[in-house]
Amino acid sequence: MTLLHKLSTFCKMSQPLRTEVLKVDALSIVFPENAHIDGKLPEVNDAPSRDALLKAAHIIRDTEETVAFPTETVYGLGGSSLNDNSVRNIYKAKNRPSDNPLITHVSSIDQLNRKIYNDYEDGDILRNIPKIYHPLIEKLWPGPLTILLPIPPERNVSLSKLTTGDQPTFAVRIPANSIARALIALADTPIAAPSANASTRPSPTLASHVYHDLKGRIPLIIDGGACNVGVESTVVDGLCLPPALLRPGGFTYEDILHLGGESWRNCKVENKKTLSEGEKVRTPGMKYKHYAPSAKVIVLLPNDSDTQMQLIDKMKVFLSSHQPDIIDKKVAIMTTLKLTPILNEISLFASSNYKGTKTEFLVSELGASGEAIQANLFAALRKADETDNVDTIIVEGISETSEGLAVMNRLRKASGGNIVTI
C-alpha cells in the first residue's frame, strides 16, 4: 500500500459519520403471542417504521457499524454480539473501557439457543438457562431484568469474547420495548448494547440525548420517544450461592425476592463501591465513573423524622454554608419526597440569601413517587447540564427501598459520592 493510499484510508476512517435519525411508531409493531419464547417475527403496520427498522436491522446484521435504539430502560447503542469489530465500534463510539462488559439483548429464548449456544435441538426451550432463573424470567421477561449465564463450550461459542469483560459468564436479557425487540428479531442477531451515551455521562432517555453525545460517531439513531423506566436493567447472578443482585435497576430488589421463589430468598445485594486492583468487572457500572454530568452534583439526604420547619432551617444552613458551590453560579435544585413541600420556601430563601450576586437558581421537582423519580432522573440531569448549563446540581436523595435502591445507586455515581445528610 502506497503512502498516499494509506493517508487516504486514514482520512476516510477519521471523518465523522453522518448520523441519521429515523422515527419508529411503537404502536405499529405487533408480536404474536409467545414470540419472546419461540421467536416468531412481528408485524410492523406503518411503512416508514418498517423501513427504518429494516435499515437498522441491515446495519446490525450485515455491517460492523452500530445503531442507537430505545429500550424500556434507556437508549442502547447496539452492535452484533457475534462480531468482534461491531463490539469494538461500540467501545469506540462511547469511548468506553474495553474491560467493562456489555449486556447482550435477544428477542427470544429461541434466538438465545440458536445464535449464542448454536443449539437447534427441539425439546425444553429453557435448557440453556439454569433452573434458578426460571421463576424470574417466566414473570419478568420481556423486561428490564438481566441474568448472567455461563459462556457456551468453546466448540459452540459464537458470542464475541469482547462482550464479556474476560469473564466466564455473559449477561443477557429480552427487552420489553417493542422497537428494541422488533429490531433484534428482524436482524435475527443478538445485540450487545450498553447505554447510548458518551462514557461516564448520564444515560440517555430521549433520542436527542443520544444525538448530543454520539452525533458523527454512529450512522443511525432510531427515535422511539421517551423511555418509560428511566434507569438501566436490574442485573442478577444466579450462578453463585447465595444468588446476588449486582446492579439495581428497572425491577426492584423486592421484586426479585417476591417473584424468585425459595432460591432467591437469601439474595444478597452487591454493595461494592470500588473494585480491588486487578479484580474483574462482573457487570456494567461496577468499576468506572458513571452517570455524571459536567456540573458538580451534591446529593442531599433529609432526615425522615424532621418536620417541615426543621427541614427549612436545615436547608437555610446548607445554602448559607456552601457558598463556593453556589455564589455567582448557576445552580439547579431538584427535590423529591421530603423537600418538595417546602420548595417555595427554599426558592425564596435561596434568592434572598444570594441577592446582589450573580447567583441564579433553577428549582424543579423530580417526582412524587419512586417510579416517577427513577423515570425522570437522567433526563433532569441532562437538561440541567446540557440545556440550562448549570454549574452545580443539588438533588434530593430518597430512601434505598424499592426504586430508591436504583435511584441512589445512580446518584452516588453521578455525584462521586458527594452526599450531604441534613
Write the pLDDT tens digit of every residue in 327-370: 999 999 999 999 999 999 999 999 899 998 999 999 999 999 99
pLDDT of residue 8: 46
Determine the 3-state secondary structure of 124 from DSSP.
Answer: coil
Tell me the per-residue pLDDT of 241-260, one tens digit each, with 9 for 90 and over: 999 999 999 999 999 999 99
Is 193 within any annotated ligand binding site?
yes
* 352: exposed, middle or buried (Cβ count in 10 Å: 0-12, 13-18, 19+): exposed
pLDDT of residue 11: 43
Is 58 within any annotated ligand binding site?
no
> CA angle, corner 373, sides to 349 and 270, nearest 5?
115
| Architecture (CATH level 2) of domain 20-269 | Alpha-Beta Complex (3.90)
pTM of the full structure:
0.90
C-alpha cell at 108: 427470544
Is 133 within any annotated ligand binding site?
no
- pLDDT(14) > 90: no
Q: What average pLDDT does the chain have?
A: 91
Is 321 within any annotated ligand binding site?
no
Region of poorest pLDDT, from 138-147, 271-280, 343-352, 380-389 = 271-280
Is 28 within any annotated ligand binding site?
no
**CATH 3.90.870.10 domain span(s) along the chain:** 20-269
pLDDT of residue 9: 45
pLDDT of residue 100: 77
Which residues pair with residue 170 across a beta bridge? Answer: 149
Cβ atoms of 174 and 106 within 8 Å: the answer is yes
Tell me the per-residue pLDDT of 201-221, one tens digit each, with 9 for 90 and over: 899 999 999 999 999 999 999
Cβ atoms of 363 and 331 within 8 Å: the answer is no
**Inter-CA distances, 338 with 298, 301, 333, 368, 396, Å:** 16, 9, 13, 9, 8
Is 114 within any annotated ligand binding site?
no
Confidence class of residue 157 from pLDDT cuts 50, 70 and 90? confident
C-alpha cell at 216: 458523527
C-alpha cell at 382: 441532562
Which residues pair with residue 296 across a beta bridge? Answer: 392
pLDDT of residue 16: 78
Q: Find the helix or strand (DSSP H, E) in which 213 lies.
A: helix 207-214
Superfamily of domain 296-421: Threonylcarbamoyl-AMP synthase, C-terminal domain (3.40.50.11030)
Is 258 within any annotated ligand binding site?
no
Alpha helices in 30-151 (DSSP H): 35-38, 47-62, 84-94, 109-111, 134-140
pLDDT, average across residues 286-296 = 74
pLDDT of residue 199: 84
Is 401 within any annotated ligand binding site?
no
**Inter-CA distances, 418 with 316, 335, 414, Å:** 19, 16, 9
Name which residue leads in pLDDT, 377 or 291: 377
Confidence class of residue 152 from pLDDT cuts 50, 70 and 90? confident
Q: Find the helix or strand (DSSP H, E) in which 237 lies.
A: strand 234-237
C-alpha cell at 399: 430512601
Following CA atoms 47, 48, 53, 59 in sequence, which dihedral angle do they give, to the nearest 10 degrees? 120
Is 120 within any annotated ligand binding site?
no
Give φ, ψ of 262 to 5 degrees: -60, -35
**CATH 3.40.50.11030 domain span(s) along the chain:** 296-421
Is 73 within any annotated ligand binding site?
yes
CA dist., res. 120 & res. 145, Å (int): 25
CA dist., res. 402 & res. 37, Å (int): 29
Cβ atoms of 169 and 239 within 8 Å: the answer is yes
Cβ atoms of 204 and 380 within 8 Å: the answer is no
pLDDT of residue 281: 54
pLDDT, average across residues 125-149 = 98
Is 156 within any annotated ligand binding site?
no
Tell me the per-residue pLDDT of 16-61, one tens digit each, with 9 for 90 and over: 789 999 999 999 999 999 999 999 999 999 999 999 999 999 999 9
CA dist., res. 142 & res. 36, Å (int): 7
Question: Pairing state of beta strands 145-150 and 169-173?
Answer: antiparallel
Name which residue leads in pLDDT, 351 or 189: 189
Is 354 within any annotated ligand binding site?
no
Residue type, 385: D
CA dist., res. 314 & res. 373, Å (int): 23
Question: What share of the chain has pLDDT > 90, as a percent?
Answer: 83
**Inter-CA distances, 115 with 130, 168, 373, Å:** 18, 18, 37
Which residues pair with residue 45 across a beta bridge? Answer: none
pLDDT, average across residues 267-291 = 59
